[in-house]
Amino acid sequence: MLPLKKLSSRKAPTLIITVGILITSGFFLISAQRNTAKQHNLQSSNLQSNNPSNQSSWAMPAILPTEIVTQHSAYSLVYNHKHMQAKWVAYNLTYGNTIGGAERSSKFSIDPSISPRTAVTSDYTKTGYDRGHLAPAGDMKFSAQAMAESFYMSNVSPQLPGFNRGIWKKLEEQFRSWAPSSHPVFIATGPVLTDPITAHIGQSCSISVPQRFYKVMLDTASPMRAIAFVLHNVSSAEPLSRFAMSIDEAEKITGLDFFPKLNDIQEAKIEKTLLLQQWQFD
């Protein structure tokens, strides 16, 4: 049996270098695969957060233990059966949501997700009040389903025609003008149910007629900013900027806690003050 030959002094370094190259290449390949997967997951997460069908809880006010959140494809709400309308409606908005091809529907219907049932469309007939949208149909153009759901009776409140078709419509258009293309802003809107209720409408139920309505927006992009409006349920020719206020002021009026996901530092900075120069009014 012949003895094994020892590696020559020339071949040993060559073999070591080759093994080292293979190990290094494998390390970089694994790292690249991990980075690619990480980037893919991050992109998927961002796409999901920008998708209105995956409603972000950032838009929702604080939820009480006794409240039930109803989730639709593009908005969430808490329905108040005492007043037969939503306490609040919350949704995400981007510029893309406002320019889709979904045609506006004029067919109001009960919300099948809410039990006991919502008010019905005939409860508003010949009352002198419009079925005023809370989450506006103009923000739902990206989807036929979202458009149809915006006409659920859970998404309307009694509004005087001069208000609904005037300054409230103007506020909806103003919010759309502030919606960016790159990321969603978060909106909550509804009637002020802490005011005394002095009027009711309805045949099959008793619907409270709110004296005021609110709409608030949070934009988490840098620099983070937020703005709130509380409007009386009457026609007005006043500029919208006159009704702008801080989130804290709107919370005192409505009794709601808006944007509870903000941390204490953000809340102190964003909710307590309003910088009108951060907002361009049409």
Find residue 159's DSSP bridge partners.
130
What pLDDT is attached to residue 56?
A: 60
User: Residue 34: inside a domain, yes or no?
Assistant: no
User: Residue 23: inside a domain, yes or no?
Assistant: no
Find residue 201's DSSP bridge partners.
207
Amino acid identity, residue 207? I
Find residue 186's DSSP bridge partners.
92, 218
Q: Is the pLDDT confidence value at 160 over 50?
A: yes
88 falls in which pLDDT band (50, 70, 90)?
very high
Three-state secondary-structure class, residue 257: coil
- What's the token pair of residue 131? 């079925």
What pLDDT is attached to residue 105?
A: 76
For 240-268, what is each residue's pLDDT tens digit? 999 999 999 999 999 999 999 999 898 88
What pLDDT is attached to residue 18?
A: 46
49 falls in which pLDDT band (50, 70, 90)?
very low
**Domain assignment of residue 237, given as a range:** 54-278
Listed residue (84, 54, 102, 202) closest to 154, CA to CA: 84
- Catalytic residue positions, numbered: 133
- 78: CATH: 3.40.570.10
Q: Is the pTM of this model over 0.75?
A: yes
Three-state secondary-structure class, residue 192: coil
User: Residue 30: inside a domain, yes or no?
Assistant: no
Q: Is the pLDDT confidence value at 149 over 90?
A: yes
User: Residue 211: inside a domain, yes or no?
Assistant: yes
Three-state secondary-structure class, residue 156: strand
CB neighbours of 179 closer than 8 A, spacing ≥ 6? 93, 94, 95, 97, 98, 185
User: Residue 24: inside a domain, yes or no?
Assistant: no
User: Residue 46: inside a domain, yes or no?
Assistant: no
User: Residue 195: inside a domain, yes or no?
Assistant: yes
Contact, 96 vs 185, CB < 8 A? no
Overall number of domains in the chain: 1
User: Residue 17: inside a domain, yes or no?
Assistant: no
